[in-house]
């Protein structure tokens, strides 16, 4: 199998290349960052691209953006690539990047893998994952699955909130006191307290959980979208 590796760590890059070569694969290119990735794919036509999530220059999302771009081009009708949907993509990450993992999975599950770098140490499993992804299968690290399921559960809790409760929670996230929230929403302080209690209940936050206000704000910030408290219905009205 023809494989391209894009990983900024020299030791890891060389180690993966050695594992793959010893297993009979052809490592056609080894790149330290994604700047020449597109040209390398065009020149070497790999069947599989192994990418690090974070690479120079910013070490934030270069690898993820490259992976999404590769999969997006391959999925386009009439793709000029010789293999049609090549290369498949296997992403390696130091730890789970929930949002990025979700974006990649959403781009299509076929021919895709997301593994934590620790899994490379298990040579047999790593090589099996390489073969599975290259064959068009999907490989997700168990920790990735666990955290994505946890995120889905958090999102489901947020969906229980009414628009008014979301407004109150959004203002809590801004650091507003109960009285400030009451003034902003033109409601009484007592109404704000009731809304906050409802938020705690629907987010399953018990008194023994510690600072429930902080935990509620964290749930709000982790949600995919956060409503604008000044634009939701009733933001300037007298609904109590």
Mean pLDDT of 90-116: 78
pLDDT-wise least confident of 40-44, 111-115, 152-156: 152-156
**H or E segment to which residue 31 belongs:** strand 26-31
Domains and CATH numbers, the chain: 2-150 (3.40.50.2300), 159-222 (1.10.10.10)
Q: Where are the alpha helices (DSSP H) in the chain?
A: 10-22, 37-44, 62-75, 98-106, 123-134, 142-158, 163-173, 178-185, 189-202, 212-222
pLDDT at 154: 67
pTM: 0.62
pLDDT over 60 (residue 75)? no
Mean pLDDT of 68-73: 82
CA nearest 38: which of 73, 12, 9? Answer: 73
């Amino acid at each position: 199998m023809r494989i391209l590796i894009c990983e900024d760590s020299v030791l890891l890059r060389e180690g993966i290349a050695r594992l793959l070569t010893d297993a009979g694969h052809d490592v056609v290119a080894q790149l330290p960052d994604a700047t020449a990735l597109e040209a390398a794919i065009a020149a070497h036509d790999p069947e599989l691209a192994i990418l690090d999530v974070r690479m120079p220059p910013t070490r934030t999302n270069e690898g993820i953006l490259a992976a999404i771009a590769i999969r997006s081009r391959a999925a386009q009708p009439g793709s000029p690539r010789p293999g049609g949907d090549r290369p498949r993509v296997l992403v390696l990450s130091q730890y789970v990047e929930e949002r990025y993992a979700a974006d990649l999975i959403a781009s299509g599950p076929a021919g895709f893998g997301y593994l934590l770098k620790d899994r490379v140490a298990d040579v047999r499993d790593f090589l099996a994952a390489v073969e599975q992804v290259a064959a068009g299968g999907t490989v997700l690290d168990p920790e990735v699955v666990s955290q994505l399921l946890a995120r889905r559960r958090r999102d489901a809790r947020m969906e229980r909130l009414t628009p008014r409760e979301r407004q109150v929670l959004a203002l809590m996230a801004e650091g507003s006191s109960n009285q400030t929230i009451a003034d902003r929403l033109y409601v009484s302080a007592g109404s704000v307290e009731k809304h906050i209690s409802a938020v705690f209940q629907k987010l399953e936050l018990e008194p023994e959980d510690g600072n429930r206000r902080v935990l509620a704000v964290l749930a709000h910030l982790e949600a995919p979208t956060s409503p604008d408290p000044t634009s939701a219905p009733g933001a300037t009205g007298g609904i109590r």
